Amino acid sequence: MIEFLNIYSLLGGVGMILIIINYLLLSNKKLKTSYVLYHLLNLFGAAGIAISTFVTQSWPAMVLSLIFSGISLFYIIKILGTKTEYKEFR
């Protein structure tokens, strides 16, 4: 059982790191919110945290992470659905 908790903690930790890196890149103007990469980092980061918090039954944090994942997925679909000249994949 302890091994499973370590795996889930690792997922949560990686998710947290992805979100922090994403925030730093955005703050340093290396990413824009119109980039698919920005939303992918948020999506995978929030999903990792959601899995970790589900296992530890931290329901408010899990719901927040799922909401962030949903918002990111929505914008990925929106960006990919735009005209080619408006897509920014960075």
pLDDT in tens, 8-27: 999 999 999 999 999 999 99
- Cα–Cα distance for residue pair 57/11, rounded to 1 Å: 15
Provide the pLDDT for residue 6: 85
Quote the DSSP letter at residue 82.
S
Tokens 């589900």 map to which residue?
54
Q: Does residue 2 register a pLDDT over 60?
A: no
Quote the DSSP letter at residue 29.
T
| pLDDT tens sequence across 18-68 | 999 999 999 999 999 999 999 999 999 999 999 999 999 999 999 999 999
For residues 12 and 52, the answer to whether their CB atoms sit within 8 Å is: yes
| pTM for the structure as a whole | 0.86
Provide the pLDDT for residue 5: 60
